[in-house]
Amino acid sequence: MTVPVQIRVQAAAAQLLYALPTPVKRLIAGAPIRLDGQELALDAQLLLRLQQLTGAELAGQSVERSRADLDVSRHLVSGKPIEPVHTRELTIPAPAGGIEATLYTPDGLPEPSGLLVFFHGGGWVVGTRNSHDNTARFLAKHAGVRVLSVDYRLAPEHPFPAAAEDALAAFDYAHAKAGELGADPARIAVGGDSAGGNLAAVTALVTTRRGGPAPAFQLLFYPAVDMSTRRRSREIFGNGFFLTDAQMTWFADHYAPEGVDRTDIRMSPLLAEDLSGLPPAYLATAGFDPLRDEGEAYAKKLEEAGVPVALNRQEDLIHGYVNFLGIGRRFREATAEAAGALRLGLSKKKS
Output the DSSP codes for 40-93. Answer: --HHHHHHHHHHHHHT--SS-S-HHHHHHHHHHHHHHHS-SPPSSEEEEEEEE-
> Pick the catalytic residue: 184, 226, 289, 293?
289
Max intra-chain CA distance, the chain: 56
Active site residue 175: no
Active site residue 75: no
> Pick the catalytic residue: 66, 194, 233, 268?
194
Three-class SS state of 328: coil
What CA–CA distance (Å, rounded) separates 103 from 188? 13
Work out whether strand 38-39 and strand 85-92 pair parallel, antiparallel, or are unpaired. unpaired
First vs last Cα of the chain: how many Å apart? 43
- CB-based contacts of 154: which residues, under 8 Å, 6+ apart? 122, 124, 125, 126, 127, 163
| Cβ atoms 190, 203 nearer than 8 A | yes
Active site residue 289: yes
Q: Which residues are catalytic?
A: 194, 289, 319
